[in-house]
Amino acid sequence: MVANFFKLLVASPEVNPGNRKAKSIPVLNPFDQYGRVFFFSWLGFMVAFLSWYAFPPLLTVTIKKDLHMTQADVANSNIVALLATLLVRFIAGPLCDRFGPRLVFVGLLLCGAIPTAMAGLVTNPKGLIALRFFVGILGGTFVPCQVWCTGFFDKKIVGTANSLAGGWGNSGGGITYFVMPAIYDALVTSQGLTSHKAWRVAYIVPFIIITAVALGMVFLCEDTPTGKWSERHLWLTEAATPSNGNIVDINSVGNSGGPSSPPSVYGITAVDVEKKGVQTPSVIDKNASTLEQIDLLKAEIVIAPTHKEAMRVALSLSTMAVAIPYACSFGSELAINSILGAYYAARFHHMGQTKSGQWAAMFGLLNVICRPAGGFFADVLYRATGTVWSKKLLLTFLGLVMGAFQVAIGLSDPSDETTMFGLMAGLAFFLEACNGANFAVVPHVHPYANGIVSGIVGGFGNLGGILFAIVFRYNGSQYGKSMWIIGVVSIAANLAVGWIGPVPKNMYV
């Protein structure tokens, strides 16, 4: 049993011949095409955190003191960092559908790395706020991270793949709380730099790492299982078997209640496919029914939709049904990560900047286990039930329990370390598992506009982060009050969208 499991992690995966997507995740095999893409997906998102969240660990004392910042200045800088990411995520989704997630990923990493290297030029609070806005571009890397994984892994394991990549990447938020203070301390103690210079020099390290990873994506990875993004439809041609005559015009075959030939991405016709450069409209596998093959074609083809179609996808109820819960779960995570070190320092006065930061890091580091758990359980339920509703119900359950933990922490506002850390660990599990379960549902929602849906959902995560960061800002050091307010909002929001179907009625699953 253990040997077979380890083999799955190392061996090249079995590939679905219909769509060229892997049926397992070669986590420990970066030499395999699928393992390499998975590796760079989570690594790219993780190193983005090294800069995106590199400021909160040193803002508690060092940067705040050096730049003479007020508590409001610190809060404003946190909000601005999330605002930039919000805008970038909304834009990154359509860009992924048009140019492919790999190139978008690389572009965002490089655009965010440049302002990171310019941290040494900051001399006042306004300068830091402006810098953090441009560094916030790095937070947008989550969208191509998820879209890239979705394009390489089969729908029966895509929840696990997305949640592993997202969870390990998100752990960068916790790692940063260790790395940045450690770099700063080393520069002060070992290199003899003053505090004023040390924190500025420290930001050269994230710049170097991010740039190196971006170059690795450029030279070592592929856009799709069949190569270039422009060749993403090649699997259809390769799978064609014209010799047996089993080529079917989609327009000639009815479907179960859906429109016969809708003009948009909601239903791709044979003519539409040919216009996009695919050489055959559909191919019937001798071991599968005609309708199954048509459903496969419609579910797997990613196209660049028109503005009207993009808006239709973005504003649909099914998109909102995953976007709003993500605004609560990932939004909470972002806002809490920004203040957790300061919260611990305020409640437990014996902790300094480094120790409070290390304990705060645990919240983010639990993403290594907790977020993948959400995606894994969602996939298990989907394989057992065969319906996306099972994933949606899990998502709603996790969101409600997450809100309950937030209310409990806020109302109790623990002054005992054991109680505080225990409740935070419980919150981390359900919050991060909720994030993982969410992106197990996303690939099923308007799959041929997956970039748009991923961008909207990811953007809503940052929108929630901004709104919750504003709650923390206006409640100042009353962190407990802010926590229970966020908890009430999370419970209400998850109940409000829990009834919405995870897949549009005119879509195939």
Q: Is 251 helix (H, G, I), strand (E, B) or coil?
A: helix
DSSP 323-361: HHHHHHHHHHHHHHHHHHHHHHHHH-TT--HHHHHHHHH
Of 213, 209, 238, the C-alpha closest to 16 is 238
Specify the pLDDT at position 428: 94
**Considering the domain boundaries, does residue 236 fall inside one?**
no
Of 169, 173, 248, the C-alpha closest to 213 is 169
Residue 143 phi, psi dihedral angles, 5° rounding: -65, -55
pTM, two decimals, is: 0.79
Residue 19 phi, psi dihedral angles, 5° rounding: -130, 0
**Considering the domain boundaries, does residue 381 fall inside one?**
yes
Report how many domains make up the chain.
1
**Considering the domain boundaries, does residue 233 fall inside one?**
no
**Considering the domain boundaries, does residue 63 fall inside one?**
yes
Specify the pLDDT at position 223: 92
Q: Is the dihedral of CA 373, 375, 376, 377 positive or negative?
A: positive
Q: Do residues 435 and 362 make contact, with C-beta atoms less than 8 angstroms apart? A: no
**Considering the domain boundaries, does residue 370 fall inside one?**
yes
**Considering the domain boundaries, does residue 73 fall inside one?**
yes
Specify the pLDDT at position 341: 84
Identity of the amino acid at 7: K
**Considering the domain boundaries, does residue 260 fall inside one?**
no
Specify the pLDDT at position 51: 87
Integer CA distances (angstroms), 267 to 247, 295, 308, in order:
18, 10, 15
Q: Judge residue 283's burial from the number of C-beta atoms within 10 Å of its C-beta, 0-12 exposed, 13-18 middle, 19 or more buried.
A: buried
Q: Strand pairing partners for 22?
A: 15, 153
**Considering the domain boundaries, does residue 400 fall inside one?**
yes
Q: Is 15 helix (H, G, I), strand (E, B) or coil?
A: strand
Of 231, 242, 243, 321, the C-alpha closest to 276 is 231
Domain limits for position 387: 26-222+311-497
Look-up: residue for tokens 């048009």?
98
Residue 12 phi, psi dihedral angles, 5° rounding: -60, 135
Specify the pLDDT at position 57: 79
Q: Do residues 298 and 508 make contact, with C-beta atoms less than 8 angstroms apart? A: yes
The CATH number of the domain where 100 resides is what?
1.20.1250.20
pLDDT along the chain (509 residues), means of 10: 65 82 89 93 93 81 89 85 88 90 96 91 92 92 94 90 91 83 89 89 93 95 87 60 41 36 36 36 40 50 70 89 96 88 84 78 88 94 92 96 96 90 94 94 87 91 91 88 96 94 65
Specify the pLDDT at position 13: 87
Of 186, 151, 175, 467, the C-alpha closest to 328 is 467
